[in-house]
Chains A and B, each alone.
Chain A
């Protein structure tokens, strides 16, 4: 079995981008800032993974809407797998963020609005999986979970992106704090940050595709058993 380049080029691109992110991310000249010091490089890993999570959740939302329009079970499978990977990234983001917080803000968990709000958002998404697991009929499961997914996304956006900005948060770009772009006059960080987002997203989509293929095979096997 060959690993054809034609269908898999984007996986290779993802790997190359992460290579670049690791090499450049460790070696480029970063802004010299007190407290942050070298940890500013976490931008390429911690922050990029959050952005990738958001992209995966948007794709999940799109497929949930598609499912509601067409009632094709495939769309439901795609939506649920994208949401799963998104939440895996979310958990990675919150764990890496906790480590970063320990060494810059002084504690594993600070009572920061952004932290608490994202935790709520992740919990809302966890309920999505509980909901899915509790319904037997696949079309009923698809419809209810698609509607719930839309609700979860609609709740996550203000929780993660809007509410923390309205109050005081330690995060850059929140509560009157300048964003990273304000520190980085040379835009040096962006040259690694944007490829990092794309790279992590592509790796995530790859794993999503593996899991979707497993589920599709499961369906085929069930069909064979039925005949």
Chain B
């Protein structure tokens, strides 16, 4: 089971390393269908990406701090129990 998890993680990392640089590879573009192309060429979509990332970072920092608080409590309770 552990081996499977490691293999999976390795796969994910390789996946990221190999494919991310090519993600922008262009496909045949059908200009008749309305897409937010101008939004990207204006560069404004990056603003949205940034905003989402900041919001997500904030949430994750909060989650990590909750995680650490729990660890502290666990230690306290365990020491109480062993007394």
Contacts and interface: CB of A to CB of B under 8 A. Distances in A.
Interface of A: 1, 3, 8, 10-11, 13, 15, 17-20, 22-24, 26-34, 37-38, 185-186, 188, 191-192, 194-195, 198, 206-207, 210, 213-214, 216-217, 220-221, 223-224
Contact of A186 (B27, B60, B71): B27
Contacts of A26: 45, 48-49, 52
What DSSP secondary structure best describes chain B's contact surface? Answer: helix
Interface of B: 8-9, 12, 15-16, 19-20, 23-27, 29-30, 33-36, 40, 45-46, 48-49, 52-53, 56, 60, 63-64, 66-68, 70-75, 77-78, 80-81
A8 B81 CA distance: 25
A210 B52 CA distance: 24
A221 B81 CA distance: 8
Contact of A32 (B35, B63, B80): B35
B63 to A, nearest CB: 7
Contacts of B71: 1
A107 to B, nearest CB: 21
Contact of A29 (B15, B25, B56): B25
Given A1-B68, A37-B35, A38-B36, A20 B20 contact: yes
What DSSP secondary structure best describes chain A's contact surface? Answer: helix
Q: A-B pairs with the 9 shortest C-beta distances?
A: A32-B33, A32-B30, A191-B19, A28-B23, A26-B49, A1-B72, A220-B77, A38-B36, A1-B68
A1 B70 CA distance: 10
A221 B15 contact: no
Nearest to B18: A191
